[in-house]
Structure 1
Amino acid sequence: MKPEQFIHDKKKVISFSGGRTSAYLVHLFRSDPDAHFVFMDTGAEHPATYQFIKDIVKHWDINLVCLRVVVNPQINKGVSYKIIQLDELKQDLEPWKEMLKKYGSPYYDMPFCTARMKTEPFEKYCNDVFGKNNYERWIGIRFDEPKRLPIEVLQKLNLPIHAKASHQKKGFRYLAEICELEKDQILDWWEEQPFDLAITEHLGNCVFCIKKHLNKVALAAKDEPEQAVKWIEVTEGLGVRSEGRKYNHHRMYRERMHMSDVIEAFKDQGRDALYNALRSSKRYESGSCSESCEAIV
């Protein structure tokens, strides 16, 4: 099924995460005059992700709206957004600093960073521009990711329904509904293009994503030591709210570890040995948020 076959009054808003699958979804809609493309910037993406986004705009000539969260420092006041220019995209961690100051640190089992920095500002922007309930949000979730798809989509595609599958939220559509390509096929497609996302799978767009297993976080720190230092300064600094938090406000990762704790725990393991051990396990391809968190609840 092609995107052109969807004829309705609602605007199609493609939520672009910066990953390869999400970018393939952009590709499918790039010739659709009714499609709108939005990227939510957390200021924590890998520098290569920002270059990939700029390459997409350049090569595909799309109008990409780039948003950043604006955190209201007042308690019980929600977040807003601001539109930034393409050349303003950079890994400065400013949205994270704002979020951590007001809300404290998210945890691996409570990743509210996605809601605060992506979902909420994305929805406010779309409501302002298109009107509430006047748009469909398209998400880059593949045919071979059934655990992430809602029950209704799984039924439509004749796929087994996962035990924890939820019902489809109104106004949400998925890449799997119009494309049956799996991950390896999309990676093969990218290899044929004049540009690509120049990072390895284990890094992902959000390099030190709190959803990653500890060994992946450690490997990312070994691959990007300068980024790791900056990340520790922001997420373990005095500017992080601790008042009213159940756990130590710095302990974002599994086993309630600091980022600095993770580095210490894996300091005696060489980079290549850690990488090879991960490559031989299922965790290399799972639990990593490898396509970057989508603007979805």
Structure 2
Amino acid sequence: MKLQGNKNIFGSISAGYSSVMMAIMLRKWYPDHNIVYGMANTSKERKESLHFMNECNDYYNLNMVWIEAEFHEKGIGVTPKIVDYKNLKTKGEIFESGIKKLGIPNKENKWCNRDMKLEVLRKYADSIFGKDNYSVAVGLRIDEMDRVRKDYKTNNVFYPLMDHKIDSKARNKFWKDQPIQITIPAYKGNCDLCFAKSNRKLMTILKEEPNTMFWWDKMIKTYGSITIDGKPSYNELMEQNNGTQTFYRGYNTIEDLVKMAEQPFTKANDEYVYENDLFDLEEECGYGCVVF
């Protein structure tokens, strides 16, 4: 819930249509507020998404800050590093440094969104406004009520698009007349082969862009059999899966997903798929990592 009487807003942006629309409209909706925008780059974001965000940043004068996570030795938390668009890491470097420290992220080991996005954005906002001296604006729409965090009323988080009754139809109408457009379908957004994407989306991506498999496959083969100090449950799950951790549900490897994609299946389209079957099971960040 937005802090009453406080005019500091930190806008968390994720390079999607909804969050960027929120960023554009915030200054209209809250003209007398101090607004700062930030986006965290994981180094596995699609280059098309980063390009779209940079174009919007320039065209709409958002003055957005690019932030990347820096991992440190055990016992020291992740810290934010301010970068610019020209120097963004895009080859998985940040993600790999986190894997070295925290293991392969998956449904049972969800550190990636927390450390590479939430923590660094929060720490940056704290450094600008002071701890608990700002509200966090998140770009969820009125038709995404199921994604609202349960403790938002006590966590200084608010949802401007919901407050203004913006649903996917209103969002799409807004972007129809804008000079800048996203050049990839929704299912390819965020980290390219994120483990929280549905099997259908992963299979579609692998079918259309097979080269996306190599980095994820390398991470499994390089780090999947390494135990992590202080994480007994992670190590136990690894042993239960013949000594290997993977990103994907059902302990699927990249090879498993490629074989699945070789079979006939209905490809994902540019809208989110909600059918409750084997191919469409996905976690929240399967359709956009939840920040704050």
Which of 156, 162, 187 in structure 1 is aligned with 2:172? Answer: 187
With normalisation by structure 1, the TM-score equals 0.82
Which of 216, 221, 226 in structure 1 is aligned with 2:206? Answer: 221
1:280–1:63 Cα change, 3 Å: closer
Shift of 1:41: 0.6
Shift of 1:243: 0.9
Shift of 1:7: 7.5
* 1:69 equivalent in structure 2: 69
Maintained 8 Å contact 1:103/1:241: no
1:1-20, aligned counterparts within 5 Å?
A: 8-20=5-17
* 1:160 equivalent in structure 2: none
Counterpart check, 1:294 vs 2:278: no
Counterpart check, 1:23 vs 2:20: yes
Equivalences, count = 273
Shift of 1:187: 1.8
Shift of 1:136: 0.8
Counterpart check, 1:255 vs 2:250: yes
Maintained 8 Å contact 1:100/1:241: no
Structure 2 Cα separation of the partners of residues 170 and 280 of structure 1: 28
Maintained 8 Å contact 1:79/1:121: yes
1:153-164, aligned counterparts within 5 Å?
A: none
Q: Which moved more, 1:57-66 or 1:216-225?
A: 216-225
Structure 2 Cα separation of the partners of residues 88 and 134 of structure 1: 30
SS at match of 1:39: strand
Q: Which moved more, 1:79-88 or 1:273-282?
A: 273-282
* 1:114 equivalent in structure 2: 113
* 2:103 equivalent in structure 1: 104
> CA offsets per residue over residues 152-206 of structure 1, 9 Å max, x none?
xxxxxxxxxxxxx556332111134432121132122212111111111222222
Structure 2 Cα separation of the partners of residues 241 and 121 of structure 1: 28
Shift of 1:295: 2.2
SS at match of 2:10: strand
Q: Which moved more, 1:247-256 or 1:112-121?
A: 247-256
* 1:82 equivalent in structure 2: 81
SS at match of 1:12: strand
Counterpart check, 1:275 vs 2:267: yes
Structure 2 Cα separation of the partners of residues 16 and 276 of structure 1: 24
Structure 2 Cα separation of the partners of residues 276 and 177 of structure 1: 27
Shift of 1:88: 2.0
Shift of 1:36: 0.6
RMSD between aligned residues: 2.7
Maintained 8 Å contact 2:9/2:134: yes
The runs of 5 or more residues in structure 1 that have no matched partner are 151-164
Maintained 8 Å contact 2:201/2:268: no
1:161-172, aligned counterparts within 5 Å?
A: 165-166=150-151, 168-172=153-157
Maintained 8 Å contact 2:197/2:287: no
Shift of 1:240: 5.4
The runs of 5 or more residues in structure 2 that have no matched partner are 229-234, 239-243
Maintained 8 Å contact 2:152/2:158: no
1:181–1:96 Cα change, 3 Å: same
Maintained 8 Å contact 2:19/2:138: yes
Structure 1 Cα separation of the partners of residues 64 and 269 of structure 2: 39
Maintained 8 Å contact 1:206/1:292: no
SS at match of 1:168: helix
Shift of 1:111: 2.4
1:258–1:182 Cα change, 3 Å: same
Maintained 8 Å contact 2:69/2:116: yes
SS at match of 1:236: helix
Shift of 1:277: 9.2
Maintained 8 Å contact 1:105/1:250: yes
With normalisation by structure 2, the TM-score equals 0.83
Structure 2 Cα separation of the partners of residues 26 and 44 of structure 1: 23
SS at match of 2:188: coil
